Structure 1
Amino acid sequence: MAIPSYSYFVLLAFHFLLLVESSKNPDLDALMAFKAASDTHNKLTTWNSTSDPCTSWTFVSCFKNRVSRLVLENLDLSGSIEPLASLTQLRVLSLKRNRFSGPIPSLSNFTALKLLFLSHNGFSGPFPATVTSLVRLYRLDLSHNNLSGNIPATVNRLSHLLTLRLDQNRFSSHIPVLNLRNLQDFNVSGNRLSGEIPKSLSGFPESSFAQNPALCGAPLVKCGESRSAGAIASPLKSGSSNPPMPRNSANGAPKMSRATIIAIVLGDVLVLSVISLLLYCYFWRTYSAKLKEGKGSGSGPGSNLLESEKIVYSSSPYPSSQPGFEKGQMVFFEGLKRFELEDLLRASAEMLGKGGFGTAYKAVLEDGNVVAVKRLKDAQINGRKEFEQHMEVLGRLRHVNVVSLRAYYFAREEKLLVYDYMPNGSLFWLLHGNRGPGRTPLDWTTRLQIASGVARGLAFIHTSCKALKLTHGNIKSTNILIDKDGNACVSDFGLSTFAIPSSSSTPRSNGYRAPEALDGRKQHSHKSDVYSFGVLLLELLTGKCPSVVDTGGPVDLPRWVQSVVREEWTAEVFDIELMRYKDIEEEMVGLLQIAMSCAAAAPDQRPRMSHVVKMIEEIRSGVDMSPPCHDTSDSVSESPSLSEDACGGSQ
């Protein structure tokens, strides 16, 4: 039996409707219901049912075609936020400075939520109990509303919480004991709270608890003490002809006379003066005796300096009194000699740290100049000529993102390298130092700038001397230093040539080494540097030290990131300190892709540093990234290069 022609049309129309329905954004209906209920002044002009919220709506961001970020601040919105409850993939919700009112509805569907800002509205009722089920939450701001009742102890479930702002509400009763080890921003001022402040919160400033008259305990006054001395003074009765005798407030005894007090003070001053004079005489005699002893000994310059005030390289490398030994000399690059070894020995110094090739010091010379000195130890150097030729190459490298080698000293048992001093410390300290309350976190713009600077410095090292194929060999966050202008500078480059071969068949990984570099028989290469740089990018993105992740045990950071990305949300890998910044998720994901490309297990799958520089700059400029290329030229735009003449002495 033939099917009428109109039946084909009906089937085709039905199929078209199914396609349209399946392509519609799953969050569209909820957003349109919210607009209809809350946007009485039509501020959300781009929101309509015929367009895709992820591509054409303002105030909306998406991830994998689901709404992940909704920022609707100061738009005069009102009513209830309950229609938003079905946005199950929401990670950031900010409704600051609107006119929403009534109790906060259930938020239990927001299982992916990380940032929640509902401040400066008219929400009322108790603390929203369902908030404590949002275990991924980092920021919670309910300030400047009309919330009342108790602050529940179940807030402790929010173990990742960095911010908890409940100020300017009507909360009452006591503050529960909160053991939130990551908490950095806490405020409950302007409420009706009472009782003692828990010791776990006593480290926050007084302003965090202000305008709660019944609160006590650190950082406010101790419980049981009066807030002012005047509160305990009994007023004199009016009409009393015989005022009471002044009495001591501590035990009721009569006060001492003014003459007695003056006599006691003068006596104390006299005793202290005598003691000071005796101490002065004693130390002056000791100092004079040492001074005469030093002059009479006829020793060289700096012999009367305290050992703690100078760098102990060696007391006198190969003194002339020993036959057959020749004292070394300082060799400078670019210009005349500025100081001798003796000047370094006289310099006041402090140890900056120990690395795989020796100890680094900050040395302040007598003329006020500051340099960094590395004393090479645990290095395999075959002879003076090899060392000097290699130093000649390293000493000619000049780039804004490379720490300049200014001079070196060579003697048989003493090798010193003199570098520019970097006053702002290392990337390791910026990322991992002082991660408690009061810490200033490393913001996203600075992290991206550091990533770009390190990439440029490393690319310059790789391309500066093509005949030698220079490598770094030890890229890690402690070897990335920050100069006075905030530029990231690569240090300790080129020293892997002097590495002592491992006696073990399986050298220990430091978390940055490429898999092939763990084979003691293989030398470092450009590709192994790229792997280490990829791990460094992951450190910038996750805020975690390579080899040590949440469990505290040794973990391969690239492998850990891969497992999290594969099994959970990609955003789970990012440093919690980056959650405060807006509109950076796309850039973070872009840099994560570069990092994972650099940290590929197979060396031939890793891009060259010259291409990595370009990809990072595309992120910084907002241009779409091209896919990683493994066969690009070695040129680095806008990077100064080194002529082949610089390599001639070491070929």
Structure 2
Amino acid sequence: MAEEKKKKEEQRSIFLQCLLILLLLLLHCSHSNGAPSLSSDLAALLTFKSLSDSSNHLLTWNSSSPFPCSSWLGVSCSQSRITGLVLESLSLSGASIAPLSNLTELRILNLKSNHLTGPIPDLSSLAALKLLFLSNNSLSGPIPSSLSSLSRLYRLDLSFNLLSGPIPLSLNHLPHLLTLRLNSNNLSGPIPVLSLPNLQDLNLSSNSLTGPIPPSLSSFPPASFAGNPTGFPTTTTVSSSPGSKPDQGIHHSGMSHAALIAIIAGDLAALLIAFTILFLYFWRKIGSKPPSHHLHEGEKIVFSSSPYAGFERGRMVFFDETPARFELEDLLRASAEMLGKGGYGTAYKAVIQDKNIVAVKRLRETGSGLGKREFEQRMQILGRIQHPNLVSLKAYYYAPDEKLLVYEFMPGGSVYALLHGNRGPGRTPVWWEVRLRVALAAARALAHIHTASRSLRLAHGNVKTTNILLDKAGTARLSDFGLSMLGPSSTARDCGYRAPEAPSAERPWASQRADVYAFGVVLLELLTGRAASEMVDLPRWVQSVVREEWTAEVFDLELLRCKGIEEQMVTMLQLALGCTATVPDQRPKIRHVVRMIEDISSGGIGDASVSPSLDSFDSVSDSPSLSEESGQAHDVTLSSCR
């Protein structure tokens, strides 16, 4: 009896909702003679609510509300029409998107992270739509060709669904598209030749796409296509006829499987014998060397496996009188752990006598053209530069065939790992206050480098998030400064941070203006949560968002959970874009950048004059507020974001 009563109540509720919708439609027809209006938009939303909101998250959607544009959750209006709908992570379910096609003035549709099912309906009536986010649902079926009618679309995100079939070539009819995310679906067939001149963000990974990557998309990183049976064009393989067996090529050559196995086994046996002979030979050679050569081999084991041309002893030179001293032999006996390889050498963590931990950078090739006197003069310059936000150079070792730099060890890792590591479930968010502290610390360190010498115009030369490290207290410290003085990097300078005026040929080069550009890219990483090394051009991508449609899409979703910081983030974004100006003379000096960040950190709004290109930044009328577009619960407080 109770179940029958509950079922009747549900049927009655649905009947009343349908009756309400019908009344609204009748009112709309009688007052506007069929022309779309706010009342017709509201009727479409109520239909959508009745079909999808089984969890009752849209309780504010009440037909009796006098101001639906300000009181209905996720709804924003312009000129008496609904233009924004942001309903992210609200457990909406069912195949219920179709009623939203009646919102003909809609510019932003965000239904991310719900439980919506069924095919994507015909949305061609949404001619004004600019942002379409349907990711993290259970939508199925093909990508409808009707999406090509949305000619004003800038961002299309259909990732993490169950979509199948080919990627339609009709997407080429979206000339303004900046973002295309179709990853983590069941899409199949070849990757079409997409000709989208403004496309900056592409992700087709984790599908069943086959064949080569078209030249028009070859500029995007391999991660954009990972998880597919596809890739950049490789050497052509010989194909067999449909009726042939997989091992046809082996049988055709007259070679049996047994013969092939015997040949491989013979080769392995020969290699094993040769390796054993070489091992015994070099083991005897090592045992017969004098003590200095023992030191040579020990160093080889600790720091590298490459052979030396010769060995000449040098000495450790310290810059600070207070720390415990050690010699090269202590380094060789220390337990060593490789931290990473870079263009200027390999870095190791070394534990000396079980208590003194240092970071050692081995400069095997860098500076090879410098004589001892010139090398030591440059080391003296770097050793004198001390600041609380710089990783101090403690000592160096020079020999003709070996150069070592000894730094303080930073146990907190890099800001790159902090921002981009473990982006999956269980990640601890990096809140705005932490990012502000990192930005200010790095700016102060860079300003100190630029003003450390009156006679020399010093520059860092390699500013990036992997070179901003955290000490045991969590304080950001800028590392690897001044290595460009020693010679060219063995690898190309990281293009994500490279200033437009930097020479294309790798040679010793650095400038203070280029440092400011690279620091601006670091600020963009802190704001967007996107890795500069994985983007085609992070400043250009952000500029395109600002120029075409300022929305919360540019900011890291972790930051959008915080209230009361929108103005600070916007000001910081203006500063970052000013730092990454194409013309070097238009970039602010780093001391001005420090003052700006200090002002932002203290609660001020800063001086936006550093970025004159953003005059129209606040003039976009159809952009929802950050809290609306984030789709997060509105009861999040600022204290939860510290």
Relative to the length of structure 2, the TM-score reads 0.53
Contact 1:152/1:176, CA 8 A, preserved across alignment: yes
Q: Does 1:353 align with 2:333?
A: no
Equivalent-residue separation in structure 1 for 2:118 and 2:539 (angstroms): 47
In 2, Cα distance between equivalents of 1:455 and 1:444:
19
| SS of 2:523 mapped into structure 1 | helix
Question: Which whole-Å deviations, capped at 9, do the CAs of 1:501-538 have from their partners, x for residues lacking one?
Answer: xxxxxx99966455677699x99665543222113334
Query: Structure 2: how far apart are the matches of 1:482 and 1:572?
Result: 28
Q: Sort the Cα spacing of 1:83 and 1:414 in 2 relative to 1 into closer, same or farther, 3 A.
A: closer
| 1:490 equivalent among 478, 481, 485 | 478
The reply to whether residue 182 of structure 1 matches residue 209 of structure 2 is: no
- Residues 156, 178 of structure 1: 8 Å contact kept: no
How much does 1:404 deviate? 3.0
CA offsets per residue over residues 543-590 of structure 1, 9 Å max, x none? 4757x975xxxx7x6567546654x44569959xx6798668968755
Q: List alignment gaps of at least 5 residues for structure 2.
A: 1-35, 51-55, 172-178, 193-201, 209-224, 230-271, 611-642
CA contact (8 A) 2:319 2:395 kept: yes
Partner of 2:87: 71
Is residue 417 from structure 1 mapped to residue 405 from structure 2 by the alignment?
yes
1:116 to 125, 129, 134: 134
Query: In the TM superposition, what is the alpha-carbon distance from 1:491 to its structure 2 partner?
Result: 1.5
Counterpart of 2:461 in structure 1 is 474
Which residue does 2:620 correspond to in 1? none
User: Which whole-Å CA distance do the structure 2 matches of 1:509 and 1:81 have between them?
Assistant: 48
- Residue 377 of structure 1 deviates from its aligned partner by 1.1
Q: Judging changes above 3 Å, is the alpha-carbon distance between structure 1 residues 433 and 30 closer, same or farther for their aligned structure 2 residues?
A: same
CA distance in 2, matches of 1:591, 1:51: 34
Contact (CA 8 Å) 1:427, 1:482: kept in 2 or not?
yes
d(CA) in 1 for partners of 2:504, 2:93: 64
Please state how far the C-alpha of 1:307 moved relative to its aligned partner. Answer: 3.7
Aligned partner of 1:344 in structure 2 is: 331
Which residue is equivalent to 2:181?
A: 161
Specify the code of the residue in structure 1 equivalent to 2:328: L
Alpha-carbon spacing, 1:127–1:314, altered in 2? closer, same or farther (3 Å) = closer
Contact 1:373-1:417 within 8 A present in 2 as well: yes
In 2, the alpha carbon distance for the partners of 1:67 and 1:513 equals 39
| Cα distance, 1:418 vs structure 2 | 0.9
Count of matched residue positions in the alignment of Structure 1 and Structure 2: 468
Aligned residue in 1 for 2:523:
537
**Native 8 Å contact 1:138 1:160 kept in 2:** yes
* Alignment of structure 1 residues 240-639 onto 2, 5 Å: 290=283, 294=287, 297=290, 299=292, 301-302=294-295, 305=298, 307-311=300-304, 318-319=312-313, 327-333=314-320, 335-345=322-332, 350=338, 352-355=340-343, 358-362=344-348, 364=350, 367=353, 369=357, 371-375=359-363, 376-377=366-367, 383=374, 386-387=377-378, 389-394=380-385, 396-399=386-389, 402-410=390-398, 415-421=403-409, 445=430, 449=434, 452-463=437-448, 468=453, 471-477=458-464, 480-483=467-470, 489-496=477-484, 512=497, 526-538=512-524, 541=528, 543=530, 545=532, 550=536, 558=539, 562=543, 565-566=546-547, 568-570=548-550, 574=554, 591-601=572-582, 605-609=586-590, 612=593, 625-628=605-608
1:139 to 148, 158, 173: 158
Aligned to 2:633: none
Deviation per residue, 1:393-418 (Å, 9 max, x gap): 22x3333xx33322223467764321
Q: Check the 8 A contact 1:30/1:87 in 2, yes or no.
A: no
- What's the offset of the Cα at 1:359? 1.9
Name the CA distance, whole Å, in 2 between partners of 1:383 and 1:459: 29
Matching residue of 2:111: 93
> SS at the partner of 1:418?
strand
How far is 1:82 from its partner? 3.2
Does residue 106 (structure 1) correspond to residue 122 (structure 2)? The answer is yes
Larger radius of gyration: 1
Give the Cα separation in 2 of the matches to 1:200 and 1:332.
Answer: 48
**1:92 CA displacement:** 1.6
Deviations 1:266-325 (A, max 9, x none): xxxxxxxxxxxxx99x98998799479726745565355484544479787655xxxxxx
Q: CA–CA distance in 1 between the matches of 2:449 and 2:512?
A: 12
The 1:28–1:291 alpha-carbon spacing in structure 2 relative to 1, beyond 3 Å, is farther
Tell me how far 1:474 sits from its aligned partner.
1.3
What is the alpha-carbon distance in structure 2 between the residues aligned to residue 78 and residue 94 of structure 1? 14
- Give the whole-Å Cα distance in 1 for the aligned partners of 2:504 and 2:205: 44
Task: Read off the aligned partner of 1:626 and give its amino acid letter.
Answer: G
Structure 1 residues 593 and 293, CA gap change in structure 2 (3 angstroms): closer
CA RMSD of aligned residues (A): 6.1
Q: Secondary structure at the match of 1:160?
A: strand
Q: What SS does the aligned partner of 2:329 have? A: helix
Deviations along 1:136-179, whole A, 9 cap, x unmatched?
Answer: 42235668xxxxxx94445787893355569xxxxxxxx85486
Q: Does structure 1 conserve the Cα–Cα contact (< 8 Å) formed by 2:367 and 2:486?
A: no
Q: What does residue 258 of structure 1 align with?
A: none
Aligned-partner Cα distance in 2 for 1:296–1:78: 78
Tell me the amino acid that sits aligned with residue 405 of structure 1: L
Deviations 1:200-245 (A, max 9, x none): 9789xxxxxxxxxxxxxxxxxxxxxxxxxxxxxxxxxxxxxxxxxx
SS at match of 1:530: helix
The equivalences for 1:214-253 within 5 A come to none
**Would the aligned equivalents of 1:115 and 1:579 in 2 still touch at CA under 8 Å?**
no
* Distance (Å, rounded) in 2 between the aligned partners of 1:299 and 1:102: 74
Residue 81 in structure 1 maps to residue 99 in structure 2: yes
Deviation sequence 1:7-40 (CA, Å, 0-9, x none): xxxxxxxxxxxxxxxxxxx995565333554567
2:74 equivalent to 1:59 = yes
TM-superposed deviation, 1:341: 2.0
Task: Specify whether residues 33 and 475 from structure 1 end up closer, same or farther in structure 2 by C-alpha distance, changes over 3 A only.
Answer: farther
SS at match of 1:493: coil
Paired residue type of 2:99: I
User: 1:30, 1:86 within 8 Å by CA — same for their partners in 2?
Assistant: no
Say if 2:461 and 2:510, in contact at 8 Å, map to a contact too.
no
SS at match of 1:329: strand
Which stretch shifts more, 582-591 or 453-462? Answer: 582-591
Match of 2:219 in 1: none
Q: Distance in 1 between matches of 2:282 and 2:398?
A: 37
Tell me how far apart the structure 1 counterparts of residues 113 and 361 of structure 2 sit (CA, whole Å): 54
Deviates most, 59-68 or 337-346: 59-68
| Cα 1:66–1:527 shift into 2, 3 Å | farther
Query: Is this contact kept in 2: 1:138–1:579, CA < 8 A?
Result: no
Structure 2 SS opposite 1:373: strand
**For residues 485-514 of structure 1, what are the alpha-carbon distances to aligned partners after superposition, in whole Å with 9 as ceiling and x for unaligned?**
6765422224455568xxxxxx99966455
Secondary structure of 1:532's counterpart equals helix
One-letter identity of the residue aligned with 1:398 = P
SS of 2:60 mapped into structure 1? coil
Instruction: For residue 422 of structure 1, report the CA deviation from its aligned partner.
Output: 5.0
Equivalents in 2 of 1:625, 1:516: separation in Å? 31
Deviations 1:615-649 (A, max 9, x none): 5688789x67333366xxxxxxxxxxxxxxxxxxx
Q: Distance in 2 between matches of 1:95 and 1:365?
A: 47
Q: 1:477 Cα deviation (Å)?
A: 2.7
Pairs within 5 Å for 1:17-32: 28-29=38-39, 31-32=41-42
Distance 1:466 1:517 in 2: 22
**2:326 counterpart SS class:** coil
- Which secondary structure does the structure 1 equivalent of 2:384 belong to? helix
Letter in 2 for 1:594: L
For 2:459 and 2:41, the matched residues in 1 are separated by 53
CA distance in 1, matches of 2:137, 2:288: 73
Q: Normalised by the size of structure 1, how large is the TM-score?
A: 0.52
In 2 relative to 1, CA 515–35 (structure 1 residues): closer, same or farther, beyond 3 Å?
closer
